[in-house]
Structure 1
Amino acid sequence: MRTYRRLSFAFAALGALVFALIAGYGGAGAAIFAPGGGTIRALVVGIDDYRYQRPLQGAVADAKDLDRTLKAARVPPANIALLLDRVAKRQAIVDAMERLLAEARPGDLAIIAFAGHGTRIREMYENTKPDHKDEAYVLADFDENNASDRSELIAGPEMKSWIGVLDGKGVDVLFIADTCHGGGMTRTFQPDSNILTYRQIDLSKEVQLEATSVATVLDAARDAASFPRLTFLAAADPSQKAPEVKIAGEATRRGALSYAVARAIEGAALPRGAGALSRGDLFEYARQRSLEYTNGQQTIFTTPGEKAKLGEPVFRTASGGEPVPTPHRLDARPIRVAVSNGDLALLSNVKSRIAKFEITEDKAKADLVFVPEKRKAVSDGDILAEDVSAADIPGVVDRIYASRALTRLTEDRWQKFRLGPDNSLHHAGDYVSLEADDAQGKFVIVFNITGSGQVQYLYPPAGGGNYPFGGTTWSMQAPVREPFGSDQVVAILSKKRLADLERYLQDHDGSFIAGTLPELIRNHLDPERDVRIGMATIVTQPWKGIVR
């Protein structure tokens, strides 16, 4: 991606895999209020412990996080129904929804969140879907092979029916569906990688809901855009999977969307001086954060999409957009490294560079897998670095640490930063573009962290000075070049010039200093949140058709 000097563009991979980093956004958010002046009510569901299906790791943590966040935002505990694991049976959810419908009044805000497995079942009403399938939310006791447990689902038309009732009563609805109903991955999963969990089950046979349902054929035929009061965020569109990812400071893997929405409710997405969080700001924040947490593997789906509706508030706040103090503590927990062939002796004499690491025999619990026979390091399904030996692993560890730490640092000071043309695998000879919005009058610094932990200075050009950017959108293009693998491009925009940071990056251009960056950048963060950070992951390989 080097524009001002030869640069490798094997861009950032999968930093969503390893961890190491900062304690969260802060916690004590300001009170939030329904945009219509009424009461906020919530139904929050999280399921990890599936009796007959593959278990998940972070759905319960997602639900508990949102529950805590809403209570911290002054939502009365009595107004929140939290259903976890085996408690989240079909009848319990139906009962909770019926209570919500009965109690809701015009001007209220209803928050509905589901974290767990999704699937697709035979449509409830014929010819209401082009593929004749309804999406469904899978509950803890669902078993496609057992008639008595086959209806432990919530079908999409049922959710639409309930949302339609709320919409008709003049109730605003925020619906977060942290699940997926089909589709594949943005990039091919590397078989040597540690294990990823996805919030999706594929049924071995066609299943139809066999329970009494409130859904009508009209409900089945509606789409999310037909509910004017609905703000909807889904973890993935039908063409993608939603992975559970490692987020620094979190004890388990998490759903990127749920985590991002919780931080948005705490105030991380509020523009400075704003008294409300708009749909557009929530969507932009959740989309950017989900891409960063998953290293470009997950693109969320949101609606409405019409420009006129994106300015409407999701909730109001008493903070006026003032920043909430955030303790950005660096997490010193070691990164776990496995060896694909089990020969742990290969790493026994390898010492850490900056970030600590520990060797594990269990690949499923590893953050990073070293594949010595292929000379590559992989993590969460992506090749992080190619042509590496055991001696190079400390640099890869630092890359993971830096990626995780910087991602966490950006939670309350995120910068809109885009990779083009998309987040798929890029090849030698391709060109990629990088764009940062809202750059008018800002000083811009851009650098790249390769998969092996090397830092490459990109912008502004060395020796050319750094001046406030004159346009609205900063952009640059760069060719894909070796080394190939997965790099992370970081853009820092600030109202004041960060001359010493700029100088440090210039002086250490080409050096393996990734592990030093989180502490250095943290020291430049201002309480006014005028320093903004955006990140983009770019994964590359030499030529199309090459099997690695």
Structure 2
Amino acid sequence: MIGRTATMVLLAATGFSWLAITPRLSANSQGGPSRGIRLLDPGDDMIPMAPFREPKTGSGNERAPPLDTIRVAVADGSTNRLAGVLPRVARFETVALAADPDLVWDAASRTATTGDGIVAYDIDAADLPAVIDRVAVARGLCKIAASKPQPIKAPTGTKLKRKGERVEIEVTDVARRALILFDIAGDGTVQALYPFGADERVVQAPTFRFSLQTRAPFGADLIVAISAAAPMEALEQGLRALSRYRSSGEVLNLIAETAPTDARFGCVALWSAP
């Protein structure tokens, strides 16, 4: 039953981008199907997003390294537009557009852009701290993934997607490993994706597959996979607590406090536009 598409669809809120996720089945080493991403009954209502929650310092002894300071420019050069904007978790400094900024905010088009493309749409000055956190955390996650890699890829490509287009995601080398998946949207919203409810915590198949369908609003989504030899209950619960909030700035500390030493990390960025 390799590559068989399930007949039901889960509407998953990844940030403020609504993506329809179609689970796929992979043959596992013990002869049965390994299901990815839980199913919802048709018509189930999604829990609405909440914009912010207060950052928490955590009670564990382990702390992640400080997030990078993000260099932010205003597209029209009017740096006074950022007056009164305070950081949430990641620090930032205002620089000129010609100073190679990490993030450019265009107040007219209400877009936030990095060197890779438009990260988020419909962004006002008050939204910027969460976007800044997202940029800094994505950078930190990529560093961790480089040292403790968990393979994850989009076989259909990560080029800019339009409304209705599908993206296939594969997480490989996960046979008999616990798996957690979550998303960080361009506006900094965290969304737990897997596991939920009765979903198997330890994947038996060597490859875990699922597909995403692009829907408005658009921007960037960072899909993160974490695998380990045993279920990661504390990390799973922590991600659920962060889920549906613009709480990306807390992700690395949560990982530092709860992820086991054998954890592996993988990231794949998806980009979409109208």
Q: TM-score, normalised by structure 1?
A: 0.39
In the alignment, which residue of structure 1 is the partner of 2:161? 426
Distance 2:255 2:189 in 1: 17
- The answer on whether the counterparts of 1:339 and 1:372 sit within 8 Å (CA) in structure 2 is yes
In the alignment, which residue of structure 2 is the partner of 1:452? 187
2:217 is the counterpart of 1:483: yes
The two structures, once aligned, show a CA RMSD in angstroms of 2.1
One-letter identity of the residue aligned with 1:531: A
- The answer on whether the counterparts of 2:67 and 2:137 sit within 8 Å (CA) in structure 1 is no
In the alignment, which residue of structure 2 is the partner of 1:521? 255
- Which blocks of at least 5 consecutive residues in structure 2 are unaligned? 1-8, 19-62
In the alignment, which residue of structure 2 is the partner of 1:497? 231
Match of 1:354 among 63, 86, 89: 89
| Residues 8 and 468 of structure 1, relative CA distance in 2, 3 Å threshold | closer
Distance 1:491 1:435 in 2: 10
- The answer on whether the counterparts of 2:238 and 2:254 sit within 8 Å (CA) in structure 1 is no
Percent identity (aligned): 30
2:122 is the counterpart of 1:387: yes
The SS at the match of 2:12 is coil
The SS at the match of 1:369 is strand
Distance 1:333 1:491 in 2: 22
Superposed CA offset, 1:342-399 (max 9, x none) = 1111111011111111111244321100001101000104001111111111011010
Q: CA deviation at 1:404?
A: 0.6
- The answer on whether the counterparts of 1:8 and 1:481 sit within 8 Å (CA) in structure 2 is no
- The answer on whether the counterparts of 1:457 and 1:509 sit within 8 Å (CA) in structure 2 is yes
Q: CA deviation at 1:332?
A: 4.3
Q: CA deviation at 1:465?
A: 4.6
Q: CA deviation at 1:329?
A: 6.0
- The answer on whether the counterparts of 1:4 and 1:458 sit within 8 Å (CA) in structure 2 is no
* Higher helix content, 1 or 2: 1
Q: CA deviation at 1:509?
A: 1.8
The SS at the match of 2:221 is strand
In the alignment, which residue of structure 2 is the partner of 1:7? 13
- Which blocks of at least 5 consecutive residues in structure 1 are unaligned? 12-327, 543-548
- The answer on whether the counterparts of 1:426 and 1:539 sit within 8 Å (CA) in structure 2 is yes
- The answer on whether the counterparts of 1:340 and 1:369 sit within 8 Å (CA) in structure 2 is yes
Q: Name whichever of 481-490 and 394-403 sits farther off.
A: 481-490
* Higher strand content, 1 or 2: 2
Distance 1:332 1:413 in 2: 18
Aligned pairs for 1:367-446 (under 5 A) are 367-446=102-181
Distance 1:493 1:6 in 2: 21
Q: In the comparison of the two structures, how many residue pairs are matched?
A: 222
- The answer on whether the counterparts of 1:484 and 1:541 sit within 8 Å (CA) in structure 2 is yes
2:243 is the counterpart of 1:541: no
Q: CA deviation at 1:486?
A: 1.0
Higher relative contact order (Cα pairs below 8 Å, separated by 6+ residues): 2
Q: TM-score, normalised by structure 2?
A: 0.75
Match of 1:509 among 233, 243, 263: 243
Aligned pairs for 1:194-209 (under 5 A) are none
| Residues 411 and 524 of structure 1, relative CA distance in 2, 3 Å threshold | farther
| Residues 516 and 329 of structure 1, relative CA distance in 2, 3 Å threshold | closer
- The answer on whether the counterparts of 2:140 and 2:252 sit within 8 Å (CA) in structure 1 is yes
One-letter identity of the residue aligned with 1:459: Y
Distance 1:399 1:363 in 2: 23
- The answer on whether the counterparts of 1:370 and 1:376 sit within 8 Å (CA) in structure 2 is yes
